[in-house]
Amino acid sequence: MGMNMKSITLSFVLLLYVSIGTAQSSDGVFDVTTYGAKPNADITQILEKAWKDACASPIQSKLIIPKETYTLGVITMLGPCKSPIDIVVQGTIMAPVDITGDGWIQFRYVDKISLTGGGVFDGQGQKAWASNDCHKNPKCARIPMSLKFSFVKDSIVRDITSKDSKNFHVNILGCKNLTFDHVTINAPGNSINSDGIHMGRCDGVNIINSVIGTGDDCISLGDGSRQVTVTNVTCGPGHGISVGSLGQYLVEEPVAGLYVKNCKLIGTTNGLRIKTWPASPATGSVTDMHYEDITLVDVQNPIIVDQEYCPYNKCNRKIPSKIKISKVSFKNIRGSSGTAVAVKLLCSADYPCEDVQLSDIDITYTGREGPVVSECSNVKPVVTGIQKPLICPS
């Protein structure tokens, strides 16, 4: 009789243990505070455990980081996962001041995730900017990007802020159908090499309703970027919205399909830019680039196609670029330039630009360099509507 009671009691305890152990995942909610997260403390191991459990959930799950301040070391959210995951970041997550590597927070091989919540990712990049000499020192310590999305599909990032990233704020590689909506990127103009959103070899990226201010390109497209839309984005400070640079490496995929519409650039060093290196080691292409309804406020180089891009004199400008640029349009581009050359179309002598269209270009300049002008080489654009400045005068 005693043995039977002991067996019954043991069975009850095991059942209770199993019930408690699975209760947290039965409703698909994984809150880091239930794993022991405390304000102003490091949550790296806690978040790793919460992610692992959420990723294993058989039903759609929600991973919550509440509205407090936490510190977080280098972490990788690795998939594939069993079901979609909503990552709700309501608080502020602080990066360590001294970390190296490729990325601070990485999402790899996951589908159908959302990153939302109004939270802030603070890269604490001031020290890294001051010591960054990678442009002249090939043996420099690797400086991590803040948010890396690698091989992520059918996902969305909405209502989050990236602040003071040490390197790129957001880097996207090999992704498909990825949307950034109402994203804020905030860093001063002297934050070296801190591109807002940089992508490469991605298909179907949408950046909408966002504000980006940083020390490098607000948005940049590397090789293999396809079908990218940028709508209702404000950029500044920064280096503008850029395609490239391209043509520096032997193996690069074509860039095809960029649609920039209803955007505003304020005080940027470039506006709408396509840049390729001269002396390209291999041929390549940029096609279907379209810019429409753009407002400029004191932008240094409002419209610029530069196929002689050669930072730090690392190339031979006398050898033309092998990157072919075609099917490019600029429509209803209006506002003020910070330099007299408001339109610069410098195309390759060996691979001239083709099918370039400009319509209703109305850019003013009131500085001391003289009247507003354009510069063109190796291109014969089709021009309609307002021409201010006169486009590619013969």
For residue 20, being part of any structural domain is answered with no
Number of structural domains found in the chain: 1
Residue 198 among the catalytic residues: no
pLDDT for residue 23:
34
pLDDT for residue 133:
81
Question: Distances from the Cα of 236 to the Cαs of 67, 119, 233, 289, 341, in angstroms?
Answer: 28, 21, 10, 21, 20
- The residue ranges of DSSP E strands in 151-308, in sequence order, are 153-158, 161-163, 170-173, 176-181, 184-186, 197-200, 203-213, 219-221, 226-235, 241-246, 255-266, 272-276, 284-299, 303-306
pLDDT for residue 26:
65
For residue 31, being part of any structural domain is answered with no
For residue 1, being part of any structural domain is answered with no
Nearest residue to 213 (alpha-carbon basis) of 191, 233, 187, 232: 187
pLDDT for residue 267:
98
Residue 166: burial class (beta carbons within 10 Å; 0-12, 13-18, 19+) = buried
For residue 137, being part of any structural domain is answered with no
Q: Are 146 and 120 in contact (CB under 8 A)?
A: no
Q: pLDDT tens string for the chain (394 positions)?
A: 444 544 444 343 333 333 333 335 568 999 999 999 999 999 999 999 999 999 999 999 999 999 999 999 999 999 999 999 999 999 999 999 999 999 999 999 999 999 999 999 999 999 999 988 877 777 788 899 999 999 999 999 999 999 999 999 999 999 999 999 999 999 999 999 999 999 999 999 999 999 999 999 999 999 999 999 999 999 999 999 999 999 999 999 999 999 999 999 999 999 999 999 999 999 999 999 999 999 999 999 999 999 999 988 878 889 999 999 999 999 999 999 999 999 999 999 999 999 999 999 999 999 999 999 999 999 999 999 999 999 998 7
For residue 224, being part of any structural domain is answered with yes
For residue 23, being part of any structural domain is answered with no
Give me the phi and psi of 172, to 5 degrees please: -120, 125
Q: Which domain holds residue 123?
A: 44-130+142-388
For residue 136, being part of any structural domain is answered with no
* DSSP code at position 313: G
* DSSP code at position 92: E
pLDDT for residue 7:
45
* CATH number of 379's domain: 2.160.20.10
- Both tokens of 59, joined, read 């039903």
Nearest residue to 307 (alpha-carbon basis) of 215, 378, 227: 378
Question: Distances from the Cα of 207 to the Cαs of 6, 40, 54, 211, in angstroms?
Answer: 62, 32, 27, 10
Of the listed 169, 198, 239, 290, which one is catalytic? 239
Alpha helix positions (H), 42-191: 44-56, 126-131
pLDDT for residue 18:
35
Instruction: Write down how long the chain is.
Output: 394
Going by their DSSP bridges, the two strands 153-158 and 176-181 should be labelled as: parallel
pLDDT for residue 8:
40
For residue 394, being part of any structural domain is answered with no
